[in-house]
């Protein structure tokens, strides 16, 4: 009994500030901290309005979840909220070191498992080996399909994306230190610049992570300064999330193609990046390098973890020709925690070193 009480008792904390109950997971090495309880209500009639409200009024929650001393500059978070969409099982806001994303594929893969295991969706009938979880992301409704047995998740997860499209192909950007560089801008729930690391004098498979981060960040800032990013359906989605450096192997192959994603404030994705895979599949399909239902494997240069992706059907987004992309990967649980605050702590809302 004493051991049980010790395990559940919270340390001294400010009673006016509820503890944040979290479940930690990772997908291909990329962390996800899911707020299970304790977050104040996020107001707003739509998910995008909730995203704006949280940025304006509850940003301390993001900092306490993501920043040191409870997290680190590459931590990623998810706050579950109610969705206004009748078909959604849950809504989610994605949190990172700079703010709030519109889409996160590695998080969707993890949240599919979490939603089933924690009873946010009904367990499928006996004998059914896959459960569907409809997750309302800021970019739109995403359907996750969770392998399960006996009502519990037991393997990989796949999801079907929002319409993914190419905003600009073969765009020439003047990148400081590298001259004029040809790249692509594509959308997979978030916008990314895609460029072969070789064009920047780097090998994505062997270069130091610091060098890749600096090069990718330089590209991101150059694109932001020289090219206007806009989404045909929502101003909230019209921003460049980051840059993905690739090995340049865009033509179809059964061998994995390697990339690394640097997003937000030089945050490095440890996974192959689910929304990046989505956008890269759309880009390869747009260029005629990939057919519908051809599966490609994408490898993270950071951890070696692998996602797969394929374009499952054509779609549209505004006037853009688009595709719905299926991305698959494996998420794992890593623990639980109760994050508390003491009222006299000068670092209560966290900090980052750079």
CB-based contacts of 263, cutoff 8 Å, min separation 6: 96, 101, 190, 192, 241, 242, 243, 269
pLDDT over threshold 70, residue 121: yes
- Domain assignment present for 230: yes
Q: Would 353 be classed as within a structural domain? A: no
Q: Say if residue 154 is in the same domain as residue 194.
A: no
Contact 146, 113 (CB under 8 A): yes
User: Residue 315 domain-assigned?
Assistant: yes
Q: Do 171 and 319 lie in a common domain? A: yes
Q: The domain containing residue 277 runs over which residues?
A: 162-328
Confidence (pLDDT) at 8? 67
Asked if 111 and 260 sit in the same domain, the reply is no
Q: Are 152 and 49 in a shared domain?
A: yes
What confidence tens digit (pLDDT) does each residue in 312-339 have?
999 999 999 999 999 999 999 999 999 9
Cα–Cα distance, 192 to 117 (Å, whole number): 32
Domain containing residue 97: CATH number? 3.10.310.10
Is 137 marked active-site?
A: no
pLDDT of residue 2: 40
Query: For the chain, where are the E strands, in sequence order?
Result: 20-27, 30-37, 77-81, 90-95, 100-101, 130-137, 140-149, 152-160, 165-175, 179-187, 191-196, 240-246, 257-263, 267-268, 296-300, 306-317, 320-329, 331-339
Looking at the structure, tell me whether residues 49 and 179 fall in a common domain: no
* Buried-exposed string 201-235: b where 16+ CB fall within 10 A, e elsewhere: ebebeebeeeebbbbbbbbbebbeeebebebbeee
Q: Which residue has the tokens 């944040």?
A: 20
Quick one: average pLDDT of 22-45?
A: 97
Structural domain contains residue 32:
yes
What is the average per-residue pLDDT within 52-72?
98
Query: Is residue 220 in a domain?
Result: yes
Q: Is residue 239 part of a domain?
A: yes
Q: Are residues 316 and 172 in the same domain?
A: yes
Query: Is the pLDDT confidence value at 305 over 80?
Result: yes
Contact present, 186 and 283 (Cβ < 8 Å): yes
Q: Is pLDDT at 28 greater than 80 in this prediction?
A: yes
Decide if 15 is inside a domain: no
* DSSP strand pairing (100-101 vs 130-137): unpaired
CB 193 within 8 A of CB 263: no
Same domain, 150 and 166: no
The proportion of the chain whose per-residue pLDDT surpasses 70, expressed as a percent, equals: 98
pLDDT bracket for residue 1 (50, 70, 90): very low
Both 294 and 217 in one domain: the answer is yes
**pLDDT tier at 4 (50, 70, 90 boundaries)?**
very low
Split at pLDDT 50, 70, 90, the class of 191 is very high
CA angle in degrees (0–180, nearest 5) for 307-312-314: 130
Query: Taking all residues of the chain, what is their mean pLDDT, rounded to a whole number?
Result: 96
- The average pLDDT across 231-247 equals 98
The answer to the question of residue 29 being in a domain is yes
Looking at the structure, do residues 205 and 308 belong to the same domain, yes or no? yes
pLDDT of 6 above 50: no
Catalytic member of 104, 139, 148, 317: 104
Number of domains in the chain: 2
* Whole-number Å distance between alpha carbons of 180 and 173: 5
CA 186/CA 115 separation, integer angstroms: 29
State yes or no: pLDDT of 82 exceeds 60. Answer: yes
255 plus 148 within the same structural domain = no
Split at pLDDT 50, 70, 90, the class of 354 is confident
185 shares a domain with 129: no
Indicate whether 318 and 192 sit together in one domain.
Answer: yes
pLDDT interval class at 86 (50, 70, 90): very high
């Amino acid at each position: 009994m004493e051991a049980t009480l010790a395990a559940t008792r919270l340390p001294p904390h400010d009673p006016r500030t509820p503890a944040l109950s979290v479940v930690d997971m990772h997908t291909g090495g990329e962390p996800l901290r899911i707020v299970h309880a304790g977050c104040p209500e996020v107001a707003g009639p739509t998910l995008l309005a909730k995203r704006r409200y949280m940025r304006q009024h509850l940003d301390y929650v993001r900092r306490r979840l993501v920043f040191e001393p409870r997290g680190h500059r590459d931590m990623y978070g998810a706050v579950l909220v109610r969705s206004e969409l009748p078909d959604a099982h849950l809504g989610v806001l994605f949190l990172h070191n700079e703010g709030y994303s519109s889409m996160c594929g590695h998080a969707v893969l993890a949240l599919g498992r979490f939603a089933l295991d924690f009873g946010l969706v009904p367990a499928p009938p006996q004998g059914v080996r896959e459960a569907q979880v409809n997750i309302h992301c800021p970019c739109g409704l995403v359907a996750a399909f969770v392998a399960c047995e006996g009502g519990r998740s037991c393997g990989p997860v796949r999801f079907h994306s929002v319409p993914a499209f190419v905003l600009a192909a073969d765009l020439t950007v003047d990148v400081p230190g590298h001259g004029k560089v040809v790249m692509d801008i594509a959308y997979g729930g978030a916008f990314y610049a895609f460029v072969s690391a070789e064009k920047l004098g780097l090998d994505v498979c062997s270069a130091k992570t610091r060098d890749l981060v600096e090069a990718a960040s330089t590209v991101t800032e150059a694109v932001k300064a020289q090219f206007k990013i806009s989404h045909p359906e929502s101003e909230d989605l019209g921003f460049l999330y980051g840059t993905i450096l690739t090995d340049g192997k865009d033509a179809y192959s059964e061998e994995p193609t390697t990339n690394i994603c640097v997003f937000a404030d030089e945050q490095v994705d440890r996974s192959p990046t689910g929304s990046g895979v989505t956008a890269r599949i759309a880009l390869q399909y747009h260029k005629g390098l990939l057919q519908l239902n051809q599966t490609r494997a994408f490898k993270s240069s950071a951890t070696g973890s692998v996602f797969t992706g394929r374009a499952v059907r054509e779609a549209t987004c505004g006037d853009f020709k688009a595709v719905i992309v299926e991305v698959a990967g494996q998420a794992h649980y890593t623990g639980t925690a109760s994050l508390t605050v003491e009222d006299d702590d000068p670092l209560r809302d966290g900090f980052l070193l750079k």
